[in-house]
Amino acid sequence: MARDAPHLAPLYDFRVEDLCQWHIVEAICFRCRRTAEVRHDAITRGVRGTERLTNLFRKLKCTNCGNREDNRLAVRLMSRN
């Protein structure tokens, strides 16, 4: 979770249905540290709205190195500018 957005819910409490158009979701690879923005439709496809984002960690696969272990999601607010 971004430090500049302390008013966001903790990531363990974030559900798929809580995502809004002004949230930016990023996937971070544990192995190569690649960071990529994830589109909302890619997150919501085939997932219940009540699913917690932390439950989706195990579904992440890095497109750079192929790693599937210990990858994470981060949520931050879109810039107002």
Say if residues 11 and 46 touch (Cβ distance below 8 Å): no
Specify the pTM. Answer: 0.76
Question: Hey, what amino acid is at 50?
Answer: T
Element (H, E) at 27: strand 23-28
Question: Hey, what amino acid is at 58?
Answer: R
Say if residues 36 and 60 touch (Cβ distance below 8 Å): no
* Ordered mean pLDDT values, 10 residues apiece, the chain (81 residues): 53 87 93 95 91 92 96 88 69
Q: What is the per-residue burial (b if ≥16 Cβ within 10 Å, else e) of 18-31?
A: ebeeeebbebbbbe
Q: What integer pLDDT is reported at residue 9 of this predicted model? A: 66
Q: What integer pLDDT is reported at residue 44 of this predicted model? A: 87
Q: What integer pLDDT is reported at residue 2 of this predicted model? A: 44
Q: What integer pLDDT is reported at residue 10 of this predicted model? A: 75
